[in-house]
């Protein structure tokens, strides 16, 4: 007997924006998106295809193809966080100077 899957929760506009932002980030793996929003990689791709301009989607797909940082299993062992060392720290709604 097959157990019915739980119906996905509708995404708010803020959720969709965050998913697209996380999709564009090099160091945020698809597994992190799935853990936070319950969307598998194929669902993220479908969402981005639907919500982005065609040219932007093609540019994103070209950029993401073969990128090892988007998959936890393909990452280097020394890469443990989602945040780049080069990324500026944000504190009190202002970007800190280096």
Q: What is the pLDDT of residue 82?
A: 52
What radius of gyration, in Å, describes the C-alpha atoms of the chain?
16
SS3 (DSSP) at 25: coil
pLDDT tens for each residue of 4-53? 555 557 888 888 999 999 888 877 888 888 888 899 989 999 999 999 99
Q: What is the pLDDT of residue 94?
A: 52
Distances (CA, A) of 68 to 41, 55, 58, 63, 74: 14, 23, 18, 11, 5
Name every residue whose Cβ is closer than 8 Å to that of residue 98 and which is 6 or more positions away in sequence: 88
Name every residue whose Cβ is closer than 8 Å to that of residue 71 and which is 6 or more positions away in sequence: 29, 30, 31
Sign of CA dihedral 89, 95, 96, 98: positive
């Amino acid at each position: 007997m097959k157990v019915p899957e739980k119906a996905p929760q509708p995404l708010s506009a803020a959720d969709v924006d965050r998913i697209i932002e996380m999709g564009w980030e090099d160091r945020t793996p698809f597994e992190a998106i799935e853990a936070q929003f319950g969307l598998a990689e194929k669902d993220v791709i479908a969402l981005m295809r639907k919500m982005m301009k065609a040219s932007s989607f093609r540019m994103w797909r070209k950029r993401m193809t073969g990128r090892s940082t988007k998959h936890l299993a393909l990452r280097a062992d020394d890469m443990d966080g989602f945040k780049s060392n080069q990324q500026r720290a944000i504190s009190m709604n202002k970007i800190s100077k280096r």
